[in-house]
Amino acid sequence: MIIPHPRAQDHSLQGLIDAFLADLEHMNRALHTRRAYASDLARFASFYTGPADGITAEVLRAFFASLTDLQPATRARKQAALASFLTWAYQEELIDATPMARVTRVKLDPPNPRGVDPKQVRAILAAIPRRQRRDHLLFHLIATTGLRIGEALALYVGDLDLTIDDEHLRVLGKGNRPRTILLDDPRVVKELRAYLKLTRYTHGPLFRAEENGRGGPVRYQTIQARWQGYCEAAGVTCTLHQLRHTHATQLVNAGVGLATIRKRLGHKNLQTTLRYAEQTDATADAEVRAWRRRSSQG
């Protein structure tokens, strides 16, 4: 029996958008991506009420012109959402061409990583009440490994290997790329062991939503609110992602090679890691002096 495809039943623009979003879910695209695309395409659908095959480059340009009050990154994301949707519709033979090919895309400058002084990170961690062991471990782990917040929240107890003197964890990063991260800071290892002993977790999510340990992974929104509160208590302005930037900057200034940093942070391209390559003057001077000593001895 042939089951009618939902796209064959509703060829309205909204119907196709719904089918596109459903396909994204089937392809296991990230939830935050699907939500962002849904919001962006809903805004376009409120601007343009015609059929999908009536979308032209002129229509797109008019829509993007109505977004000039938004930040460049936001406009670029909306362009990306429409480009993805129209490419999908073309591949499904629902439209005859992809008009985004005739539209100039927003060009974004690569963001400059902004770390904070490690003393400030320590001040924030010190502001976390002792009873909030989960929160302290989570933020301490991110600060000492450079994990993305999503990667940290997705950790399971089974991802840990606490073999003495070879402690590490397994992470599934962006693009479903796995990597192994060495837990080289003895303080975070000690805290991790104590946390597992206290909670008696032997399987399941490492960072859980409920105090009794029977819940699923803690929600990002909850952790974001907690982090903001601790920053305010410490009198420090710092985003969660800046913990990752701070760790990368520390590695660069310690002389760790960019290839190693790329692997630790889970960057797909070395170009992304190169954004952290701006060393402090003291680090650069020390490296040149070391090179000069070696040259003189030769």
Round to whole Å and give the CA distance between 101 and 89: 14
What is the percent of the chain where pLDDT is above 70?
88
Evaluate whether 279 touches 188 at the Cβ level (below 8 Å). Answer: no
pLDDT attached to residue 283: 59
CB atoms closer than 10 angstroms to residue 206: 25
Evaluate whether 207 touches 153 at the Cβ level (below 8 Å). Answer: yes
Mean pLDDT of the chain: 87
Round to whole Å and give the CA distance between 250 and 127: 22
The pLDDT tens digits of the residues spanning 41-97 come to 999 999 999 999 999 999 999 999 999 999 888 999 999 999 999 999 999 999 998
What is the percent of the chain where pLDDT is above 90?
59
Element holding 63 (H helix, E strand): helix 57-65
Confidence of residue 177 (pLDDT cuts 50, 70, 90): confident
**Pairing status of strand 178-182 against strand 168-172:** antiparallel
Round to whole Å and give the CA distance between 8 and 19: 10
